[in-house]
Amino acid sequence: MPRLSDSPLLKLLLFLILTMSISRLAATPPPTEKTPVVEEYHGVKVVDDYRWLEETGAPAVKAWTAEQSRYARGFLDALPDRAGIEARLTELYGKVTPSHGGIVARPGRLFALKFQPPKQQSLLVALASADDLASEKVILDPNEIEPKGHVSMDWYVPSPDGKVLAVCLSEHGSEEGTLYFFRMETGERLPDRIARVQYPTGGGSAAWTADGAAIFYTRYPRAGERAEADLNFFQQIYFHRLGAPESEDEYSAGRDFPRIAEIDLATSHDGHWLLARVANGDGGEYAHYVRPARGAGHEAWRRIADFTDGIKEVAVGGGKPMLYLRSVKDAPRGKILRLPIKGELQAAEVIVPEGDAVVEGFELTATRLFVTDLIGGPSRIRVFDLEGKNGRELPLPVAAGVGGLHALAQRTDDDRVLFRESSYTAPSAWYAYDAAGESGPRKTALQNMSPVDFSDIEAVREFAVSKDGVKVPLNILRRKGTKLDGNNPTLLTGYGGYGISLRPGFDFAQRLWFDRGGVVAIANLRGGGEYGEEWHLAGNLTRKQTVFDDFAACAGHLIERGYTRSAKLAVEGGSNGGLLMGAFCTQHPDLARAVVAHVGIFDMLRVELDPNGAFNVTEFGTVKDPAQFRALHAYSPYHRVSVGTKYPAVFFLAGENDGRVNPANSRKMTALLQASSASGRPILARFSSASGHGMGTALTERIAQKADVFAFLFDQLGMLPLPAR
């Protein structure tokens, strides 16, 4: 005879009682002092009650953060299955097979970043080929430098012969990197060391000379070179001879670049040319420069295109060196141009014209031009000759995502490429294709194996109709046979900014969500790049509200179609997607039960005062412009909170070392919502001292964050594990 304690009904009642008691705890968050500050923008007076929480490092702010952390931990750790969720995630990560990314080819070998749980950080490895895992050799293991995972690689660049690797390392997820050099054969670190090459504002990069004896690199000003307020701006290019003192490094270019320049350096496949792409902040405008990959830093760079020319990408290829360019000028979905390396842009010829799909990128081999296209989210690959003729499409799975297309370029006649194919329901894998002989792509040994089975999950694609009548793609992951009765716990995510596209991707941790009857939906919002530059520009600057309208329409679509209802709907996003969460929460407080915002931007009137915020002006706008101020003020989540409104449960996550989004955004938004919400639902904040914007976060910290988010959402949506089938 079963015991009373085994009764499913009794277990459900106990769960609901515990949940209600936790919700009552959440009704009394720590109080936050109000110290009003009034500012006037274009005749509009704006009150900020929590300006004092911007003082990072101040004793009062540290005390507030500690109190909020105790409050959040008290709530999260009391959830009935929080510990079990973390244990399950740890178990799954322990079973996942290693994965390889950041692949770079050099003669006779491949380099890659290898993610190998339970190691905290990725390793830098070399392989003879993508089909020979036994040949793998570890060159650098950051876990041996710092076993807790607090040292990570921002990026790396092998020399042309692959014998020396330049590696940028940073600590605690800060992305504030220093450049080191390692020998491939022995892993020996060379004495050369260059500080300030990388920062979250403009990133960082490097490119070798043809002989591998010297390197061009980006660097930010040192103390004394510029005013303190400008030390994380004015990125420039310098030249370093391997083995020489850094004091002898030469300036190469950048004094006439914008204050918010972001420089990306590259060497052509043949090693003879250097390219520099200079972004004007984060809004998608680029200038491009070229110079020979020889000589000292003082040799002149030639400008190929300016910020207004619509050139997104440039590469060098062909027997007679030619410039290949991806352009959106008068072609918002993209086209490919070609011109002689010393030619002028106006003489460029169109070799791949604009079509229905978005030309997202391209790669050159000895005799072929590979073009990656985006069709609203899924991808395709086309291959042409170097004149853009004789095009054909490579066979790929339906609704596949393609990332990381790389030419192997290991021989002078090499027409081989590697690319990563991914989907929502299967682990990603690297594929090889040789245009000179193979009929289709083949899977290599670099493939992931999932620790869980997704054979019961299907991905469907639907379209929500936004406020202005535009159809917005919505990718929905659900268990096969899911009933559209409005009772499915549903998690909706999105981004919508910077022209960034959300492609299909596999996340084995979603198994925990599906095992409790959950549905996952990914929205391809305007502001992204899924339908080209017009799609991006429809959601930036004064048109940013369009992104939030699209997301609300997607939430409404899920409810209208019977996937879920407001009491069973949660939303989640990070960074620009965190801003999206704040706008959704304040504009539609009754549309979802729970909101999770990672490293979000919430005070849109103050964001440009932060170093990285200044780079966002070309994407968001500035309060200095009256029209842009009005748009920013109208949707700024921090300024749309109203006292007495019944807001959803909200969970903010931020990294104390975040150089991209000031964690003060999450501090201020937490305080304001706690003081204003009348719903009695929890408003929690999690501030991590061991992470930044997410890049370089140690594995154990990533697992802990995921466990907190799952536990929070399971609690708020009343999600119990499904009975075993």
| Type of residue found at 445 | A
Strands 429-434 and 416-422: antiparallel
Does residue 25 have a pLDDT over 70?
Answer: no
Closest listed residue to residue 111, CA positions, set 448, 450, 410, 449: 410
Q: Is 675 exposed, middle or buried (0-12, 13-18, 19+ CB in 10 A)?
A: middle
**Secondary structure class of 539 (helix, strand, coil):** coil
Does residue 27 have a pLDDT over 80?
Answer: no
Please tell me the predicted confidence (pLDDT) of residue 400: 80
Over residues 203-251, the pLDDT tens digits come to: 999 999 999 999 999 999 999 999 999 999 999 999 999 999 999 999 9
Does residue 19 have a pLDDT over 50?
Answer: no
Architecture of domain 68-73+452-716: 3-Layer(aba) Sandwich (3.40)
704 pLDDT band, cuts 50/70/90, is very high
**Secondary structure class of 76 (helix, strand, coil):** helix
Q: State mean pLDDT over 348-376.
A: 94
- CA gap 646, 648 in Å, rounded: 7
Model's pTM, two decimal places? 0.90
Report whether 528 contacts 573 (CB < 8 A).
Answer: no
201 pLDDT band, cuts 50/70/90, is confident
Please tell me the predicted confidence (pLDDT) of residue 396: 85
Please tell me the predicted confidence (pLDDT) of residue 725: 54
Report whether 477 contacts 518 (CB < 8 A).
Answer: no
655 pLDDT band, cuts 50/70/90, is confident
200 pLDDT band, cuts 50/70/90, is confident
Strands 392-393 and 401-407: unpaired
Does residue 297 have a pLDDT over 70?
Answer: no
Over residues 572-621, the pLDDT tens digits come to: 999 999 999 999 999 999 999 999 999 999 999 999 998 788 999 999 99
21 pLDDT band, cuts 50/70/90, is very low
Beta bridge partners of 153: 169
Does residue 393 have a pLDDT over 60?
Answer: yes
Q: Is 603 exposed, middle or buried (0-12, 13-18, 19+ CB in 10 A)?
A: buried
How many other β-carbons are positioned within 10 Å of the β-carbon of residue 596? 26
4 pLDDT band, cuts 50/70/90, is very low
Higher pLDDT, 26 or 129: 129
| Type of residue found at 509 | A
Element (H, E) at 598: strand 594-598
The residues near 666 (Cβ < 8 Å, ≥ 6 apart) are 597, 599, 600, 602, 652, 653, 654, 685, 687
| Type of residue found at 693 | H
- CA gap 601, 674 in Å, rounded: 17
Q: Calculate what percentage of the chain has a pLDDT beyond 70.
A: 95
Over residues 299-336, the pLDDT tens digits come to: 689 999 999 999 999 999 987 889 999 999 999 999 99
Please tell me the predicted confidence (pLDDT) of residue 410: 74
Higher pLDDT, 724 or 95: 95
HEC secondary structure over 265-327: EEECCCCCEEEEEEEECCCCCEEEEEEECCCCCCCCCEEEECHHHCEEEEEEECCCCEEEEEE
Start-end of H helices in 109-194: 142-145
Report whether 648 contacts 595 (CB < 8 A).
Answer: yes
Report whether 474 contacts 377 (CB < 8 A).
Answer: no
397 pLDDT band, cuts 50/70/90, is confident
